[in-house]
Amino acid sequence: MADPALVVWMGQTEGVSSLAADLARILGENAVLHEDAALRAYDCDAYTVDRSKPQAVVLPSSTEEVAKIVRYCVGAGVPYTVRGAGTGLSGGALAALGGVTLSTKRLNKILSVDPENRRLTAEAGVANKRISDVVRPYGLHFAPDPSSQTVSTLGGNIAENSGGPHTLKMGVTVQHIHALKMVTVDGEIEEFALRGDGLDFLGVIVGSEGTMGVVTEATVRLTPSPKHVITALASFANVRDATESVAAIIASGTLPAALEMMDKGVLGALKAAFGLEYHPAAAALLLVECDGDDAQAVEAEMQAVRQAFGRHAALEVQIAEDDAARAKLWVARKKGVGAMGRLAPSIVTHDGVIPRSELPEMLEFIYAEASAAGLGVANLFHAGDGNLHPCFYFDDRDPGQVERVIETGERIMRRCLELGGSVTGEHGIGVEKIDLMSEMFSPADLAVQGLVKSIFNPGDLCNPCKVLPNQKSCAEHRKRWRGVAW
């Protein structure tokens, strides 16, 4: 039985017009969207498989305004979901039960920059890259660098505990947050900071996918930009040589700043889309970046990397020591995803993690699965931390192919779990992977995760139906939004 309070908000126009009117009374007309065309633009994030429109979108300009909206929603029993730039890849910003989408678009101020203490305070809607751009003159940067960083927001990065190519050495978002401000599910404004003593609430809220409250501000830790950077791009005649090089580099004790891999599928896409050509016999590329303040130490690290390349039959190694040359080596990595979009009408990028020594075996498993299912696959991923992103390209007008993409993806995720890994390294569970949670965790494990969530959110209005399976009222609504894009 669905909660009657929630059913009211599922597509009933009467309720909707009064909802929009109420929100407009609180924040003003120009902070509320409720036209159907506008709502359609908010019916999914970058995970486009499932879609569900909110009944209204609000654009608050301050933490206090967010708190007013949350208090209204709680009073009226309306579900609400926070949304940053909408670049999430697991449906975290999907308005699963309709209700209000709370956009952070206008929470876009950098509030203070403190280069001496290496920290910056910004509102949740500030784009990731803007933070690094603002502090570049001080020789600092914000370390998490998801591929979406030109648009994805600080709030979204906090919700998903985002990674990126350079988080191999520097750590993911949770390691770069000093403090945050959150509107709790009872509409109060609370601050959480790193603490020496006591429970690490900050560590739990970061990565909770917007389910524990609405984060409106954060103070981030800035990282000194390294004085010396050397980048290498190596090509290999087969994937196993490349993946074994990764294992050899890690085993040598070298922790590069970035260690990324691209396989033949990506190389083919780069050639088709942009005319980019690499070594004619290359079946895989490894991009490795070493950095630090001590030039000799960086040299020595790169030397260890090159030895690993040598021992694993690299066909060619290109080295870049200045920014212009470096940008050229990164082209394959940065343009790879866009290039794959041109291979087929549809692509689906998966996100799984394995212990990194299992890479050679895992890649072979992926190729075998793709081939058995008759699907194209390309791999462009964070090899250094074992975070895979197999990308299937297919024709979504053929239901048979869609089915096979889903099944193959699930088999790959199960293999990740068998090898001791995880069903997501950085994209999150959202709605996309909610069924896989029961494969990774036992019912008791999931029940205690429910307890962790209920410290902050014992109810079901704040970003409902995400992360944990079998939530009240979600199953029947899911039939409505599951797979509607197809």
Least gap, CB of 278 to other proteins (angstroms): 27
Least gap, CB of 388 to other proteins (angstroms): 10
Least gap, CB of 56 to other proteins (angstroms): 28
User: With respect to other proteins, which residue has the nearer C-beta, 79 or 163?
Assistant: 163
User: With respect to other proteins, which residue has the nearer C-beta, 223 or 473?
Assistant: 223
Least gap, CB of 286 to other proteins (angstroms): 17
User: With respect to other proteins, which residue has the nearer C-beta, 114 or 398?
Assistant: 114
Contacts of 170 (CB under 8 A, 6+ apart): 143, 144, 176, 223, 257
Q: Residue 410 half-sphere exposure, CB side, CA atoms within 13 Å?
A: 13
User: With respect to other proteins, which residue has the nearer C-beta, 43 or 160?
Assistant: 160
Distance CA 351, CA 89 (A): 9
Least gap, CB of 193 to other proteins (angstroms): 7
Least gap, CB of 353 to other proteins (angstroms): 4
Least gap, CB of 324 to other proteins (angstroms): 31
User: With respect to other proteins, which residue has the nearer C-beta, 21 or 194?
Assistant: 194
Least gap, CB of 433 to other proteins (angstroms): 8
User: With respect to other proteins, which residue has the nearer C-beta, 180 or 270?
Assistant: 180
User: With respect to other proteins, which residue has the nearer C-beta, 200 or 277?
Assistant: 200
Least gap, CB of 231 to other proteins (angstroms): 22
Quote the longest CA-to-CA distance of the chain: 70
Least gap, CB of 358 to other proteins (angstroms): 8
For 351, counting Cβ atoms within 10 Å of its Cβ (0-12 exposed, 13-18 middle, 19+ buried), the class is buried
Q: Which one, of 111, 137, 140, 138, lies nearest residue 123 by Cα? A: 111
User: With respect to other proteins, which residue has the nearer C-beta, 312 or 453?
Assistant: 453
User: With respect to other proteins, which residue has the nearer C-beta, 329 or 437?
Assistant: 437
Least gap, CB of 196 to other proteins (angstroms): 3
Q: Which one, of 177, 163, 169, 179, lies nearest residue 221 by Cα? A: 177
User: With respect to other proteins, which residue has the nearer C-beta, 201 or 481?
Assistant: 201
What Cα–Cα distance (Å) separates residue 441 from each residue in 434, 436, 437?
11, 9, 6
Q: Which one, of 200, 198, 179, 199, lies nearest residue 190 by Cα? A: 179
Least gap, CB of 419 to other proteins (angstroms): 9
Instruction: Copy the structure tokens of residue 245.
Output: 């090089």
Distance CA 145, CA 303 (A): 26
User: With respect to other proteins, which residue has the nearer C-beta, 265 or 428?
Assistant: 428
User: With respect to other proteins, which residue has the nearer C-beta, 136 or 195?
Assistant: 195
**Residues engaged in binding other proteins (CB under 8 A):** 114, 116-118, 160-161, 163, 167, 171-172, 175, 178, 193-201, 203-204, 207-208, 247, 250-253, 353-357, 382, 385-387, 420-429, 433, 437, 440-442, 444-449, 451-456, 467-468
Residue bearing tokens 């876009």? 108
For 203, counting Cβ atoms within 10 Å of its Cβ (0-12 exposed, 13-18 middle, 19+ buried), the class is middle
Sign of CA dihedral 239, 245, 250, 254: negative
Enumerate the β-bridge partners of residue 113: 120
